[in-house]
Structure formats: structure tokens, C-alpha cells
Amino acid sequence: MATDLQIDVPKIVSVNPATGTVLRELGCAGENDVLAAVARARAAQGMWAEIGVRRRIAILREFQRRLHEKKSEIAEAITQEAGKPVVEALTTEVLVVLDATRFLIENAYRLLRDEPVPHGNLATKLKRGRLLREPYGVVGIISPWNYPFSIPATETLAALVAGNAVVLKPSAFTSLVALELKSLLHAAGVPQDIFQVAVGDGATGAALVHSQIDKLVFTGSLATGKRIAVAAAERLLPVVLELGGKDPMLVLDDADVEVASSAAVWGAFVNAGQTCLSVERCYVHRSLYELFLEACVDKTKKLIVNHGLEHNADVGPLIHQRQLQLVEEHVEDAKARGARVLAGGSRFPEMGANFYHPTVLADVTHAMRIMREETFGPVLPVMAFDSDEEAVRLANDSEFGLAASVFTREKTRGERLARQIQAGSVMVNDVVSCFGISEAPHSGVKSSGIGRTHGRFGLEEMVRLKYLDIDGMPGMKKVWWYGYGAKFAAQMDGFLNFEFARSAGERLRGARRAIGLVNRKQL
């Protein structure tokens, strides 16, 4: 008698971090599932590339329309799974994606079309060159939980409009948001095999890295990014790696304290501090230090910590217990080393298991973990400095270099310091919002990553460059072909003098020696 064997498929559980409510159980894509998804993507990609940029832009326009219609529904789905207030889901996720789509609709055709390459060398004047931008093929994307819609969507849209197929592996904590993205893209006209979502855990991500994708875009921790870089190097897989930051904010002695303190509080606590562009280190000129701290503490204590679906919420929960414990460790280490806790500094169990009070720390130093390691939580550590030079030195004293900000009333001074800070983006008199500027590249230096997303340079990451050269005289042998000898060497010496010698006389003599190149005999 035959017996049916039931194979247990590993599952992940999507949980509301504010309430602990299980939203849905999902089966993990195994290695064979990932390989099959990549194979389907590769088989379909050629036809997707052939429909042309204009048709793909039209599909993006339909995606934008559908997303706008469902903006509130998508924002609530983000809040349910990631915890952030609904208004933050609208502004930092839905708005960002709508505008990124706008950028691609307006610019993709121009940025992806063939580009003429002029020839300055006299010897190649009969040629015509063009730079072609061709899709890689299949792009793998591994995205994080902190911005589960805007990060994978902006990367996916750039890859798709360039003619690639995409296999997305979202964070195990926010897979439902990725499935919402898939639903929107498919409804807009993206073929099912051109955009696929591989839901799963770390093993699913590893399977994608080791599959036959043509490029990988990863956003996540430095440790995981290094492991991916090693794996990619084995077969020279091109990668874009965004690996987090420890972003400094500099408040100069002429800054507007009221404005700068509001920026610091928002920059440190937006998305409960779980933002790669968060203000994680704040340096304030000593003349403003106590006044700035007082303003930050006052504003921090006015923030409402609540479930993200409550419309009065300013700060929501952390994503899970491990993240909360890391924040707690950093704060306790700072306290043990002499930092003062001026606000917060503890869990908020009355609100829920994953809530932590927004925290302001004073008198921090670089000996503390909170000023060296990425905290990714609702903590604003503040340190005093005495000169612009010291502020820049402190800002650059980090293995990370994602973003930074400078607050000053004098724009030229702010720009001067910004140019000295080692970071992929520096804002003067604002924080974080550079991520929402669709024209601006998002990238880091040092341990913050490799490559770029967003804007023209993010779109360039999604294509291979090919140089195409067409000779205008197909029936003529080229003068540099075989038929060498002393005479040819003398003629070429003259040609080089004709093109590059300093004096007019030397150029004229060179031209006379080179004239025989036109009639030289070749093999």
C-alpha cells in the first residue's frame, strides 16, 4: 500500500512588532526554488529587453498610478509589519517610490539610449563610436526590513526599466510588504517571471548569492556584506553593497539651535532610529552644547511613543528583541563609561515588548560603543567640540562613511566642511532626506559599501557598458596593420610629432615625414 510522505517546508513568521500578533506564516524558498526562479527569469528576460525602454516606461507609469491609488493601504501594510508610524510609511517609503518612479519615467529613455563617442585621435577620424547600455540579465536583490518598500522598490524599478529581470529576496521580517510590491508590479504589466519574490531566511539569501544571477544588490549589515563580497569574488559577480553607517551631525557655533535640535531629534528617532542615515553621532560646539542638549531633551520628552497605526504616534517599536537588546547594550556601555542619560535610557514595557524610550545621552566619547558601532535604535548621543577642525576629525573617525550633516548659518562654511567629511552624502542644514531626492545617488565610502543606487548613477549600475565602433572605410586597410619596418617607424615618428609636438615647425616637419603613411604597402 502506497503512503504519501509529507515533507515539512521551513517557514518564516511575519509578526507585528508593536503587538506581537502573527500576521502570516510563509514557506521558505529552498535552494531549488531559488535556482528555478532564476532560470525562469533568465528565460523571460530577453523578451522583456526587446520590448524597448519606452514600453517599459509605460509600465512604470501604470505602476505609479496604481501605487498612488493604494498609497494608504500600502502604508498601513508597511506599518503592520515594520512598526513605523503610518505617516512615516507614507513619507519615507511610498512618497520615495512614487518620486523614484517619476524620475525614471522622465529620464530613463535619455539615460539609456545610445551615446555617441567622439574620436579626437586623427588616426581614427574615419570611425564612428557609440556607447551602448545593455541589461545585465538577471539582477538579484537582497533587501532589509527597516525600509521594506522603498529600498527594494527603487532598486527593482531601476533594474526593470533597464531591461533586467529581478529576483528579490526580502527580509524574513517584512516579506508581506515585498509581496505587495510584487502584486503592484504584476498588475501594472510586469510579467510574472520578470519580477519574482523569493521569501525565506538566510539560507534563501545564500542560495540567491550562489545562483547564476548576473549582478547582486545587497542592503544590510557590514558582516553579511563582507561574506557576500567573498562569495561574489569567487566568480567575479558584480555587486552593489550598502552596508550601513554611523552618520555624524555637526552643529557649528553659529548654528540656529532651535532648527538644529529639531533636526537632531527627528534624525535620531525617525523609524525608531532604525535608519542607515540616522543621526548616530552628534557633535556640538561647546558654546552651544548645554543649550542644544536642553532643547533636544525638551523635544524628545514631547514625542509620543505608540503603535504605528495610531495617528498620534511619533516613534514606534523596534523590529525585534535582538535589535532592542543591542540598543540597550550600547546605552549601558555608555553609562558605565561616564555618559549622562538626559532622557529615556530604558525599555517601555507598558507599550509593548519591543519599545524603547527615545534616549538622549550627553558627555559621550569615542571610547564608547555607541560612538563607534552602528546602534540602529532611538538614541541621540551628543559630544562637544571646540573647533571646526576638531569637528571634522571626529566626524571622520569612523570605519563608516555613508552620510553626514553640517548645521551653520553660513552656507560657504558649511560647504567647506562638507567637502572635508568622508561620506557618500553630506547635507548642510538638513538630515536623512537625501535618500528621498531621486536625482541624487545613494552610496557610501569606507565600510559603508560599494556602488550606488538611485538617480542616474543608480541606473548606470543596472547596465553593462558596451563600446561599438564602426569604421567608415571598410575597403581600406588600416595604416597601423602589418607591414612594419624602418620606413614605417620613421613615418609614425613623424605622425606623432605632427599631432603632439609643441612647436609649429616641428609639427610641420612631422607632417612631411608622415605623408607616406597614406600610400604605404601592407600585408
Q: Which has the closest alpha carbon to 214: 170, 181, 167?
A: 167
Give residue-wise pLDDT tens across range 134-160: 999 999 999 999 999 999 999 999 999
Average pLDDT, the chain: 96
Query: pTM to 2 decimals?
Result: 0.96
- pLDDT band of residue 192 (cuts 50, 70, 90) is very high
DSSP annotation string for 392-459? HHHHH-SSEESEEEEE-S-HHHHHHHHHHS-SSEEEES--SGGGG-TTS-EE-EETTEESEESHHHHH
Question: Average pLDDT of 14-22?
Answer: 98
Q: Which residues of 381-420 are buried (b: 16+ CB within 10 A; e: fewer)?
A: bbbbbeebeebbebbeebebbbbbbbbbeeeeebeebbee
Q: Which has the closest alpha carbon to 187: 62, 74, 342?
A: 62
The predicted pLDDT at position 3 comes to: 47
The predicted pLDDT at position 1 comes to: 42
Burial class (CB in 10 A: 0-12, 13-18, 19+), 448: buried
Please tell me the distance from the alpha carbon of residue 466 to that of residue 486, in angstroms, as a whole number: 37
- pLDDT band of residue 8 (cuts 50, 70, 90) is low
pLDDT for 451 beyond 80: yes
Phi, psi (rounded to 5 degrees) for 238: -65, 140
**Higher pLDDT residue, 120 or 9?**
120
Which residue in this structure is represented by grid cell 519606452? Answer: 54
The β-bridge partners of 196 are 167
CB within 8 Å of 51: residues ≥ 6 apart? none
Give residue-wise pLDDT tens across range 487-522: 999 999 999 999 999 999 999 999 999 999 988 888
- pLDDT band of residue 268 (cuts 50, 70, 90) is very high
Phi, psi (rounded to 5 degrees) for 479: -65, -20
- pLDDT band of residue 7 (cuts 50, 70, 90) is low
3-class DSSP state for residue 121?
coil
Spell out the domains of the chain, with CATH numbers in brackets: 30-116+129-243+457-466 (3.40.605.10), 248-437 (3.40.309.10), 474-519 (no CATH)
What's the chain's Rg over C-alpha atoms? Answer: 28
Calculate the dihedral angle through the C-alpha atoms of 176, 182, 185, 186, rounding to the nearest 10 degrees.
-130
pLDDT for 2 beyond 60: no
Please tell me the distance from the alpha carbon of residue 88 to that of residue 75, in angstroms, as a whole number: 8
Please tell me the distance from the alpha carbon of residue 418 to that of residue 392, in angstroms, as a whole number: 9
Give residue-wise pLDDT tens across range 270-322: 999 999 999 999 999 999 999 999 999 999 999 999 999 999 999 999 999 99
- pLDDT band of residue 114 (cuts 50, 70, 90) is very high
Sheet strand arrangement including 138-142:
195-197, 165-169, 138-142, 215-219, 239-242, 449-450
Question: Average pLDDT of 415-439?
Answer: 98
Please tell me the distance from the alpha carbon of residue 471 to that of residue 481, in angstroms, as a whole number: 14
Question: Average pLDDT of 206-233?
Answer: 97
Q: Return the ∠ at Cα 290 (arms to 285 and 294), rounded to 5°.
A: 125
Give residue-wise pLDDT tens across range 115-139: 999 999 998 999 999 999 999 999 9
Please tell me the distance from the alpha carbon of residue 459 to that of residue 441, in angstroms, as a whole number: 10
pLDDT for 171 beyond 50: yes
pLDDT for 200 beyond 50: yes
What positions carry a catalytic annotation? 242, 276
Please tell me the distance from the alpha carbon of residue 318 to that of residue 155, in angstroms, as a whole number: 25
